[in-house]
Amino acid sequence: MITAHLKKLKRRIEVSSEEERAMRGLVSETRRVPPDQILIRSGEALSSSLMLLEGWLARAKDLPGGERQVTELHVAGDFADLHSFTLKCLDHDIITLSDCVIGVVPHERLQQITERFPRIARLYWFLTNVDAAITMTKPASLRPLARSSPGDIPGSFQPLRRIRP
């Protein structure tokens, strides 16, 4: 189920069989989600993180002019919001761009694995730092996206238009 995630981690460090067993136990449930759905809303209180098992996700922020800015894309194997483990809420939305399979990882399980396996804790910490660096550098090079009509989902790839007067 989390093969892509493990493959991603194994590119950085050698994962022991005990660490792998613990990581395979992180996901408490899986959900199939269609495209153009908001999985997490900015400011929502969180007690779990989302691991993308299949599909494409994005992080997006609403801009003052009504446009939506996509700040990061996620592929299978990524934690979409690992930083919510410590922050407990996000300042952006997480949206589906395609059909997705999401693994729900309760923060209690992340707490247990990071206390038991310091190498995994450091690796997850590193991944959140990489995400932060991407988030800080990408917005300057991305163009805001907007809904083309009131029924469209924010973040859909459509021509830039104002959606608020």
- The pLDDT confidence band at residue 83, using thresholds 50, 70 and 90, is confident
28-39, pLDDT tens digit by residue? Answer: 999 999 999 999
71, 138 Cβ separation under 8 angstroms = yes
Is it the case that residue 165 has pLDDT exceeding 60?
A: no
Architecture in CATH for domain 3-141: Sandwich (2.60)
pLDDT for res 46: 95
Helix (H) or strand (E) holding 122: helix 118-137
Q: What is the mean pLDDT of the chain?
A: 84
pTM for the model stands at 0.79
Phi/psi at 49 (5° precision): -115, 160
**Which residue spans within 35-99 are E strands per DSSP?**
38-40, 48-54, 57-62, 68-74, 93-96
Q: Report the C-alpha gap between 59 and 145 in whole angstroms.
A: 12
- The pLDDT confidence band at residue 105, using thresholds 50, 70 and 90, is very high
